[in-house]
Chains A and B, each alone.
Chain A
Amino acid sequence: MRHEPGRPERPFRRNDDGVVLGGVCSGLARRLGVEVATIRLIALLSVVVLGSGVAVYLALWLGVVRRGETESIFSRAMSVKREKEILFVVAIAAITFLIAFQTLGLHALGVFLWLMTLSALGVLVIWRDSSDAEREHLREGAADIVTRASSGSDKWQSVALRTGSGVVMALWGMSLLSRVGNETGAAAYVLVGAGALVIGLFVLFAPWWIRTFRDLSFERRARIRAQDRADMAAHVHDSVMQTLSLIQRSSHDAAEVTRLARLQERDLRAWLANPETFGASSSPPSTLSESALAIEREIEDNYGVGVDVVVVGDCNLNESITALLAAGREATLNAAKWSGTNNVSLYVEVETGQISMFIRDQGRGFDVDSVPDDRQGIRRSIKERMTRHGGSAVIRSSLETGTEVELHLPLHSRVQ
């Protein structure tokens, strides 16, 4: 909805679009039904009169509700206890500072300083308590100024404006400083003069400074990215490229190709999941799930048979659990060697009071009863090992559906 000059509007609201700062001037123009430019000109002129325009502007910014909102910034600040406390503390500090200044004898600038301090307080409240929408708008505006200051500086107008105002500020500061020694309260002139000099120099050199700073951070980011890329390239070269060349060389051997592909896949997964600790984990597995994955690695690498591990729950190792894992490894190994399939399922679950482990293949089975007693593998490595630790082992096998080895280990005490 566009505003037409010449028709006053009610109620008085700060504008929310096409605004320079807080939308006070354009809001006022709508309320009074006059051109925005007129109001802005009056506002600018009033700033020259001891900065009174600034204080009035801020007061309206704080006290008038923004279009589309229900509460003014000031009443929002007053409705929160914490905000009230912060404002109170800062105000006390500012007044103390002003009184200290007064005793230094700065009478000429007294009113000006009071107004400036009040304004600074107002800006603080606006920054802390404006609505999210308004704050977003202000932030964009600030970012815009920074961008323009650092990039648009080749336009002669902006260079002239900046150099002009910077030089005037700096000269004024120096002239104040040079008066020291003739009158009482001279220290105050030192402070104001030094401040003006600093501001002047800042206005002169800010664009250069911002640009340098930004270039530095660009460079740093680029360097980090290059570093990441180099790490990635190094890893790809060390592992993937080597494996691919091995696969090409052994392309006649299907089992070897599968084995290499599996190995590389596992390696890449581990690296993706945790690039920082990758390669550092040469320590032996310390939990049930890590040990199960170690069995998968060992059998896949040595026998070219896929081991598909699913672990439910996890616990730390102890002597019996290590025995269970050894029995499970033996069963997996048997399946890999004798079943004739290329896939073995390994399932481990930590249940209430026991750990169960199932090793299953769907290949050639065998007659469990006809295995001669002198075959050590099953009896010694699986059954006796389990009974020694209070567990049990059941082996089911049929010629059609393959073999399943079922291991149970009771947990006598809570394992932590």
Chain B
Amino acid sequence: MSDTERPRVFLVDDHALIRAGIRSELSAFVEIIGEADEVTAAIEMIIERSPDVVLLDVHMPDGGGLAVINGVAKVDASVKFLALSVSDAAEDVIAIVRAGARGYVTKNIEGPELVEAIRRTAAGDAVFSRRLAGFVLDAFIAKEGQLASRPSFDLELDQLTPREIEVLRLIARGYTYKEIALQLDIANKTVESHVSSVLRKLQLSNRYQLTNWATERRLL
């Protein structure tokens, strides 16, 4: 898909107001090919219309975004999901990304940023918000001077490369991909491949530990 082409987007959210808001904000930049307000209908319509990107609400009755991702992935694993939610609690973010979402943005994201995130998702790249980057750094790096009660893990398998950590830090500091490329003197594409690699590690990492981390983090 080229940059000039408008990505075909499917909208899943159980709040009509939010759907209308997103529609009006995006309609100039993307093609919205349908919307659904509940899990079962969403799964059917997504499989039927195979959109480039599904913009997915995390919290819905009957299993929410997770159920939609799982339902669609059984039939068509090529559909790309971008999770959209008011919640930025660690357990929600981690769970939806682990299930296979290409990224996670909060609902107060501004229009142009959302369009950019959709473009990136459509192109098969990962979309990391500042907070998601922060969660990953928090979960994967064991540090000195840490509160003893704070869980973290540093399994060999789950290790991030120094470059990946650098990229994540810059995202957490509020840099755009372009600014990161400039700062580290690497190509835009390289930044994207680092982020995708982190996403993959996140999705493959030990589910039990990650869930544990997310719930315990909430308790602190």
Contact = CB atoms under 8 A, between A and B. Distances in A.
Contacts of A312: 134, 137-138, 141, 172
A350 B174 contact: no
Interface in B159-206: 169, 172-175, 179
A360 interface: yes
Nearest to A345: B174
B150 interface: yes
A189 interface: no
Contacts of A316: 147
A18 to B, nearest CB: 35
Interface size class of B (residues with CB under 8 A): 20 to 34
A115 interface: no
A12 interface: no
A308 interface: yes
A313 B143 contact: yes
A347 B138 CA distance: 12
B148 A358 contact: no
Given A310-B130, A312-B137, A347 B144 contact: no
Contacts of A362: 174
Contacts of A411: 144-145
A84 to B, nearest CB: 35
A315 interface: yes
B173 A404 contact: yes
B134 A310 contact: yes
Contact of A349 (B137, B148, B220): B137
Quick one: which of A312, A358, A404 has the most chain B CB within 10 A? A312
B24 interface: no
Interface string A287-328: 100000000000000000000101111111000000000000
A350 B146 contact: yes
Nearest to B137: A312
Nearest to B89: A273
B174 A315 contact: no
A120 to B, nearest CB: 44
Interface string A398-415: 000100100000010011
A157 interface: no
B74 interface: no
A273 B90 CA distance: 12
Nearest to A351: B143
A315 B137 contact: no
A370 interface: no
Interface in B106-145: 130-131, 133-134, 137-138, 141, 143-145
A308 B145 contact: no
A353 interface: yes
A70 interface: no
A281 interface: no
A187 B148 CA distance: 67
A182 interface: no
B147 A287 contact: yes
Contacts of B146: 313-315, 350
Nearest to B219: A274
A358 to B, nearest CB: 4
Interface string A196-216: 000000000000000000000
B133 A310 contact: yes
A315 B145 contact: yes
Given A401-B179, A415-B145, A310 B172 contact: yes
A310 B143 contact: no
B147 A315 contact: yes
Contact of B147 (A314, A345, A349, A358): A314
A352 interface: yes
A283 interface: no
Contacts of B175: 360
Given A310-B131, A311-B134, A312-B138, A345 B173 contact: yes
Nearest to A262: B108
A350 B131 contact: no
A313 B173 contact: no
Given A316-B147, A349-B137, A358 B173 contact: yes
Interface in A334-386: 345, 347, 349-353, 355, 358, 360, 362
Contacts of B133: 310
22 contacts: A308-B130, A308-B174, A312-B134, A312-B172, A313-B141, A313-B145, A315-B146, A315-B147, A316-B147, A345-B173, A347-B130, A347-B134, A347-B169, A350-B143, A353-B144, A353-B145, A358-B173, A358-B174, A404-B173, A411-B144, A415-B145, A416-B148
Question: 9 tightest A-B contacts by CB?
Answer: A345-B174, A310-B134, A358-B173, A312-B137, A360-B174, A312-B138, A415-B145, A347-B173, A352-B144
Given A312-B172, A313-B146, 10 more contacts: A308-B130, A313-B141, A313-B150, A315-B147, A347-B169, A347-B172, A352-B144, A353-B144, A362-B174, A416-B148
